[in-house]
Amino acid sequence: MQFAEPALLEPGLHAPLAALRAATRDHHLRLDRLMDLRLLGDAARYATVLQAFDGFLSAWESTVAAGLPAARQPWLQARSRRHFVARDLQVLGIAASTLPVQLTPIATGAAAWGSLYVMEGSALGGRVIARALAAQGLRPDTGAAYFHGWGESTGPMWREFRQLLEQELATPAAVSLACAGACATFDDFSALLEGALA
């Protein structure tokens, strides 16, 4: 799969976060509908969703790492949430994912930051999902560790990430590449999840 043409940005949307939000709004909506919070209480469906995240993260983490310089690797590793999914799979007795994962190549550092926006931002939605799972009796130690993620630290970590986005995406061209990278990451994950849930 190749990157889509970089999105044309609306005037005033060159600030990286605003541009990324605008470019990916519909992609997020599609994924939100696909995951369907109301159905996540079904154990078999929840298992499939966890397997999809596990499979995606195992391929995505190395792909995005290859798009970033050596100096950023420790930061990237420290933000990995893959061990949370591994814990959930173990606690719930679910096999690790064997799903084939198709990822759009990440050709530039800017595209890597756009892709990172999707997975770092997903930790915010994760808090909403974690609350819904808690209402169904799933806590971080009983199978909801991934969506609980870094818990109270999620907000401060997101604020730090937003500052990095401002630094790393300093030109309209970089923002445009990042938007295309973010859309591709949303679409890659949606395709994987759609296939898994089918």
Of 73-81, 117-125, 135-143, 169-177, the window that binds ligand HEM (rule: CB under 6 A) is 117-125
Of 71-79, 116-124, 135-143, 172-180, the window that binds ligand HEM (rule: CB under 6 A) is 116-124
Q: Does 189 bind ligand HEM (CB under 6 A)?
A: yes
Nearest one of 27, 26, 169, 44 to 110, comparing CA atoms: 169
Of 64-72, 92-100, 119-127, 137-145, the window that binds ligand HEM (rule: CB under 6 A) is 119-127
Nearest one of 123, 110, 112, 126 to 80, comparing CA atoms: 123
Contacts of 174 (CB under 8 A, 6+ apart): 110, 113, 168
Of 3-11, 94-102, 115-123, 134-142, the window that binds ligand HEM (rule: CB under 6 A) is 115-123
The site map against ligand HEM for 3-32 (x = CB under 6 A) is --------------x---x------x--xx
Give the separation between CA 9 and CA 31, rounded to whole angstroms: 22
Q: Which of 7, 19, 35, 50 binds ligand HEM (CB under 6 A)?
A: 35
**Which sign does the torsion angle of CA 118, 123, 128, 131 carry?**
positive
Nearest one of 173, 61, 154, 155 to 110, comparing CA atoms: 173
Backbone angles phi, psi at 124, to 5 degrees: -70, -50
Residue 37 or residue 107: which is nearer to ligand HEM going by CB? 37
Give the separation between CA 151 and CA 43, rounded to whole angstroms: 23
Q: Which of 125, 157, 160, 172 binds ligand HEM (CB under 6 A)?
A: 125
Binding site residues, ligand HEM, CB under 6 A: 17, 21, 28, 31-32, 35, 37, 117-118, 121-122, 124-125, 128-129, 189
